[in-house]
Amino acid sequence: MASFPPRVNEKEIVRSRTIGELLALAAPFDKKCGRENWTVAFAPDGSYFAWSQGYCTVKLVPWSQCLKNFLLHGTKNITNSSSLRLSRQNSDGAQKNKPREHIIDCGDIVWSLAFGSSVPEKQSRCVNIEWHRFRFGQDQLLLATGLSNGRIKIWDVYTGKLLLNLVDHTDVVRDLTFAPDGSLILVSASRDKTLRVWDLKDDGNMMKVLRAHQNWVYSCAFSPDSSMLCSVGASKAVCIKVLIHLF
């Protein structure tokens, strides 16, 4: 029988309640495939919330504003039809760091989401972020989307602009995770039985292919100090890698 650790107050969990529900609009006229909502994610600093709305789109919401709307208008929050829709190649030049809603067209069914920040969640090591193609400040916030066709697209959260298109997986990208140390190292897990390690500060260069699984890879996660990576797949085995030996 499962139990909670001592630090968790079970009575508080029982008293938890739903504060809101985000609802997507009806299907678009072009009726893109894949209406299911597959995944959700919070930005590390809590500034944004993202979820795949189906029909190949992802909704980016400034979380503080969304929470305020719940408190003012009740638990239902239907996607605003006037929200900005951004195409795969378009950016509106929005003011950086100013929270804005975005609806991003990813071009294929979105299976996985992950936020990445150049600000370390814990100061595990000093990282100098200098991109070859892009130069951003130390407060950069990115969203990675894993698609049904095996591609991974990297977006600027503040503007909705497409930054990188990572093409190496040959099947669905089931999960994505960023290293929490601010290095912008991204790991992807796929149905092609591999995990791939990407260095986004180096134009999205693929650093390593990990082939520890014999079947689909479902999920992956970094340890809090970014020193280890664990993954799980259809074979029911959990694989743990010490990253110092990989890089």
Report the distance separating Cα 131 and Cα 244, nearest Å: 22
In the chain, the number of structural domains is 1
Q: How far are the Cα atoms of 57, 72, 93, 94, 133 from residue 86, in angstroms, in the given order?
A: 10, 28, 11, 11, 22
Tokens 């140390």: give the residue. Answer: 181
Structural domain harbouring 137 = 33-67+99-121+131-242
The CATH code of the domain that includes 214 is 2.130.10.10
Q: Is residue 105 part of a domain?
A: yes
What pLDDT digit, counting tens, does each position of 114-149 carry? 999 887 765 433 344 444 455 555 568 899 999 999
Report the distance separating Cα 160 and Cα 98, nearest Å: 12
Q: Is residue 236 part of a domain?
A: yes
What pLDDT digit, counting tens, does each position of 165-192 carry? 999 999 999 999 999 988 899 999 999 9
Report the distance separating Cα 113 and Cα 192, nearest Å: 18
Residue spans of the chain under pLDDT 50 = 1, 29, 33-34, 78-96, 123-132
Nearest to 147 by CA among 196, 111, 119, 120: 111
